[in-house]
Amino acid sequence: MLFLPQNCAERGKRPGSAAAGSRMGTLDALVAQITALSGEADLPQLLNQLKSNAQDNVMRQSAGGLLAAVAGLDAAAHSLGCLHLL
C-alpha cells in the first residue's frame, strides 16, 4: 500500500522535487542504486539491497516521492526496482 502525503513537505511542491525536503536525497540514492545494480550480473546484490531494513526506512520516510521515483525509472530495464518501490 502506498501512503501519499496530504500535503507535501511544502505545499505546492512536487513530492519528487528537491524542495520537497532533504529526505529525497536518500530516495535519490536508492534510485541511483537501483539503476546501477539492474544489470543481470548484479541482480542478486540488488535484491539483497532492496530487502534491507535501511531501504525500507528510506521508502517509508520518502513515501510522497515514490511514484515520481518509479516514473523516473525505465520499467523494462529496472523492473525489479520498480516493483519494489511500488
- The alpha carbon of 70 is separated from its chain's Cα centroid by a whole number of angstroms, namely 7
User: Would you say the pTM of this structure is higher than 0.85?
Assistant: no
Query: Is pLDDT of 42 > 50?
Result: yes
Counting Cα atoms < 13 Å in the Cβ hemisphere of 83 gives 9
Residues 6 or more apart whose CB falls under 8 angstroms from that of 86 comprise 2, 66, 70
The cell numbers describing 35, all together, are 539503476
Percent with pLDDT over 70 in the chain: 71
- For the chain, the structural domain boundaries read 22-85
Query: Is pLDDT of 73 > 60?
Result: yes
